[in-house]
Amino acid sequence: MTPSIVAVGEELRVLAERLGLPWVATRPARGLALIETAEGLAIAGPPAAYGKPLTVNLVSGRADHRRRFGGGRGQLVAKACGLGKGVTPSIVDATAGLGRDAFVLAGLGAEVLMLERVPAIFALLEDGLRRARHDSEIRPIVARLGLRHADAAVDLASVVAEAGFEPQVIHLDPMFPHRSKSALVKKEMRLFRELAGDDDDAPRLLDAALAVATHRVAVKRPRQAPPLAGPRPAHVIEGRTSRYDLYVHRALR
């Protein structure tokens, strides 16, 4: 069950209504809230449980560091999505999350359509893109990023057709399986998991992606986790803590 998100202020009330989010006029003492901060729209909860408010920041911080020093086309996500020498495919990121992988791919020249089904996370993405367009250095990258509020497991084919987008590659990053309590992920991802829930329909999402991608589907998994239920991946690219399972229709050229 998705937790209630509280919207503070009239503009956020309108936003919450547009996205179908529950709201009240003032921030509660507990639970999660959709709030405005100096860094833009954020989801916040009690600091002891969730740490800093969750925002989408594509201009500075980790996104900026990764853009400058992340390794370019040598990064795992770039290799998995087929960004090789002279090849820059069109990509759908069907589980956009906080937009970090899509931003990397767009920064390397790819046209990327992001799909996000969780209303609160979609709102953060929309706000992050809006703010990034004001930065002259980032603006050309953001121009290669599209965004739709959609459940890719249900609506992938129709949303892609409506957007006039022809994806050669579909990137999937379903929520990783739960870890034990003694190995809880950091607070930011605890908040994200509470918003997004578990991707129990990941095999259905894979089926939808295989039906739409013209060349390949790249699925991010924990390094030791089993593949998603369904067809066997044709190739596997491993990183230090995660890997990509590749389902290939044809080679990218």
Q: Are 201 and 153 in contact (CB under 8 A)?
A: yes
Residue 172 clears pLDDT 90, i.e. is over it? yes
Domain assignment of residue 115, yes or no:
yes
Q: Known binder of ligand: residue 200?
A: no
| Local confidence band at 183 (pLDDT 50, 70, 90 cut-offs) | very low
Residue 150, C-beta contacts closer than 8 angstroms, at least 6 positions apart:
115, 116, 117, 156, 159
pLDDT of residue 182: 38
Residue 187 clears pLDDT 90, i.e. is over it? no
DSSP type of residue 94 = T
Q: Known binder of ligand: residue 173?
A: yes
Q: Known binder of ligand: residue 101?
A: yes
Q: Known binder of ligand: residue 116?
A: yes
Domain assignment of residue 161, yes or no:
yes
Q: Known binder of ligand: residue 100?
A: yes
Domain assignment of residue 51, yes or no:
no
Q: Which residue range forms the structural domain that includes residue 131?
A: 57-248
Q: Are 95 and 122 in contact (CB under 8 A)?
A: no
Domain assignment of residue 178, yes or no:
yes
- pLDDT for 34-75, tens place per residue? 887 788 888 877 777 777 888 999 998 888 889 888 889 999
Domain assignment of residue 214, yes or no:
yes
| Local confidence band at 13 (pLDDT 50, 70, 90 cut-offs) | confident
- pLDDT for 230-252, tens place per residue? 999 999 999 999 999 999 999 99
pTM of the model: 0.89
Domain assignment of residue 244, yes or no:
yes
Domain assignment of residue 29, yes or no:
no
- Percentage of residues in the chain having pLDDT higher than 90: 58
Distance of CA 53 to the CA centre of its chain: 17
Domain assignment of residue 35, yes or no:
no
- pLDDT for 103-146, tens place per residue? 999 999 999 999 999 988 999 999 999 999 999 999 999 999 99
pLDDT of residue 32: 78
Give dist(CA 253, CA 66) in Å, integer: 26
CATH code at position 198: 3.40.50.150
Number of domains present in the structure of the chain: 1
